[in-house]
A and B are shown apart, each in its own frame.
Chain A
Amino acid sequence: MKTLILGLGNPFLTDDGVGVKVANAIEEELNSESNEDITIEEASVGGLRLMEAMIGFDRVILIDALLARNGNKPGTIHRMTLDDLNAISPTQHSACAHDTTLATALEMGRRIGLALPNEIIIYAVEVENVMDFSEKPTQAVTRTIPLVVASVLEEIHPTQDIK
């Protein structure tokens, strides 16, 4: 199964880039493996460009920041499907102000016959600060990074022990 692990966000905007930091950490973990089925990327995009990044993959695991509308608790991790994402709210980067939401972009992609993944899993981390420029996430968010990394590794290697 061709899998894309995509960390979203701006790595220079405190907690905003938590997805990128997770993706980088996964890349390090998998460094010794040569697995052609797994692609790890990072980007700060949403909407159409995010949908386009998924073309040709069977499964996509997105990692993104989330500012919950009510009762945001920094450091909380959510594993969501696309339906959950639509029902709750977009994560920080899944929608693009300059075109459309990820859901609309995916529906469009399917309508025009693009090869889009059947399975999209989203790891959303509730964040605290996406307003200050810094390469360092807040403490609550920093603590979640190894947990999200382990969860994503478990998704892709469910039968193996994670070191």
Chain B
Amino acid sequence: MKRITIDPITRLEGHGKIEIFLNEEGNVENAYLQIPELRGFEQFSVGRPAEEMPRITNRICGVCPEAHHMASTKALDALYHVEPTSAAKKVREMFYSAFYVTDHTVHFYALGAPDFVVGPDAPAAERNILGVIHKVGVDIGKQVIACRQRNHHVIKMVGGRGIHPVAGLPGGWSKAISTEERAEIEDIARQNIDFGLFSLKVFDDIVLANKGYVDLILSDAFTNKTYYMGTVDENNHPNFYDGKIRVVDPQGKEFVKYPPSDYAKHIAERVESWSYLKFPYLKGVGWKGFQDGLDSGIYCATPLSRLNAADGMATPKAQEAFEKFYETLGSKKINGRYEPVHYRLATHWARLIELLYSAERMLELITDPEITDPNVRQIVDTVPDEGIGGVEAPRGTLTHHYWTDEKGILTKVNLIVGTTNNNAPIALSIKKAAQGLIQKGTVITDGILNRIEMAFRNYDPCMSCATHSLPGQMPLEVVIRDVEGNVIERLSQYVD
């Protein structure tokens, strides 16, 4: 058995394993992503006071604690039947916008951009943020870190704690924004808008100006036609903090729109014997196996999905970028809205458009006269029973569902995290990329492995969320099996 060792620098979380099964001809028959599952989150939560959940669930993930904190806080609003004050909602959404700016920044520059800036065939050791700096210049690194620092400052100031925020309460937020803080945040929001525009320019210059990369984005190996999910406001524009969940079909027609509390009516979960992960799908379409198209209930919930599920963006500069995105990628307008873009690698571009939107939305909210209103909390005087809270996490729609007794002690918990929504489309994308890249007689190189990784890296899969795990060491193994199941090739990112 031939064993090839790949550089230990990995950019994938979880003990990820991709298994590729070949058929008799030596072509790819199937490809799966497998990751182990952590156990006992529900048992851990049951018996605790529900109001601890915003501070427990924000530990599930070191990457997007803010998203869990917010979904959990909103679940508490519903659980205690309390409507947050208008000022509290604005403070929460402003805080959440700052988080989106930092999160999308790091994904693009540290994970997405290296494949394009340094190149998909570059040695893995160079395909990282240092490689980007090396190629583009040290100034880009300074901009990235400055963007993160100023937004982490906002998160700490408004969220009460730097890394795992604590300010969310049922019915509001523990702390109002002072006039001094407001002025400082306004300045930061303006810098974020400049940074969002700068990042789109970087994408233009590095990716769109390179025909090879555009061809890669448009290639069939990285295309899957699925349903798309995203939270929208009353104008069908994306909103990350609140709204209704809208699903469009692969042709762009609205399939369903529902409040997050109705998720169980629309989403079912498929269990497969080979994976600990569950595969959510649309009940209204049904499970038809791992295939895309109009008849398959597989949906996707990513930055690309949120743009596809929307009719436009709520802020002016993001709207311009949205139009350019669809026009450039050849999408036609049908009944006043663009057809969905199915090119998975375009997710990186969509993420930058969301970054710009978040920056603009942050400025809108921080310049709203109500943002410094001290009335950020409703007093809770109701008996809790059951509550569902949802937000758009950067990696997909995030739902927290809690059940309690009359004293607010948890009796049951269900979370559908961002990446979980994308488990089936990730499987589709891996299979398609593997089929496109490996045929009978293909010599498997690091470049091929990396392109298969690119097929799911664009989803930024958060296995710590999807499995409730937090591994820091991130081996990825690709195993290729022949028609009898024998291992004929194994590519591992471990160094023995």
Contact = CB atoms under 8 A, between A and B. Distances in A.
Contact of A112 (B10, B142, B462, B496): B142
Interface string A84-112: 00000111111111111100110111011
Tell which of B40, B149, B152 has the most Cβ of chain A within 10 Å: B40
Given A52-B145, A130-B469, A133-B39, A111 B63 contact: no
A43 interface: yes
Kindly name the residue among B107, B111, B133, B472 whose own CB sees the greatest number of chain A CB atoms within 10 A. B472
B473 to A, nearest CB: 5
B40 to A, nearest CB: 4
Contacts of B43: 133
A43 B62 contact: yes
A43 B65 CA distance: 11
Interface in B131-188: 133, 138, 141-142, 145, 148-149, 152, 162-164
Given A92-B473, A133-B468, A99 B38 contact: no
A111 B110 contact: no
A111 B136 CA distance: 13
Contacts of B41: 133
B163 A98 contact: no
Given A46-B472, A49-B62, A95-B474, A108 B130 contact: yes
A52 B43 CA distance: 34
Contacts of A104: 9, 128-130
A112 B138 contact: yes
B163 A45 contact: yes
Interface in B1-59: 8-14, 36, 38-41, 43-44, 56, 59
Given A44-B164, A104-B130, A131-B39, A98 B63 contact: yes
Interface of A is mostly: loop
Contacts, number: 142
Given A104-B9, A111-B141, A99 B163 contact: no
A49 to B, nearest CB: 7
A130 to B, nearest CB: 7
B464 A97 contact: yes
A47 B106 CA distance: 11
Contact of B14 (A47, A97, A108, A132): A97
A100 B145 CA distance: 13
A95 B44 contact: no
Given A52-B152, A97-B13, A67 B473 contact: yes
Listed residue (B163, B468, B494) with the most chain A CB atoms within 10 angstroms of its CB: B163
A17 B110 CA distance: 26
Nearest to A11: B59
Interface in B442-474: 460, 462-464, 468-474
Contacts of A91: 472-473
A134 interface: yes
A126 interface: no
18 contacts: A12-B56, A45-B62, A47-B110, A48-B148, A49-B62, A49-B163, A91-B473, A93-B470, A94-B472, A96-B63, A97-B14, A97-B63, A98-B111, A99-B129, A104-B128, A108-B130, A112-B141, A134-B44
Interface of B: 8-14, 36, 38-41, 43-44, 56, 59-60, 62-63, 65, 106-107, 110-111, 128-130, 133, 138, 141-142, 145, 148-149, 152, 162-164, 460, 462-464, 468-474, 494, 496
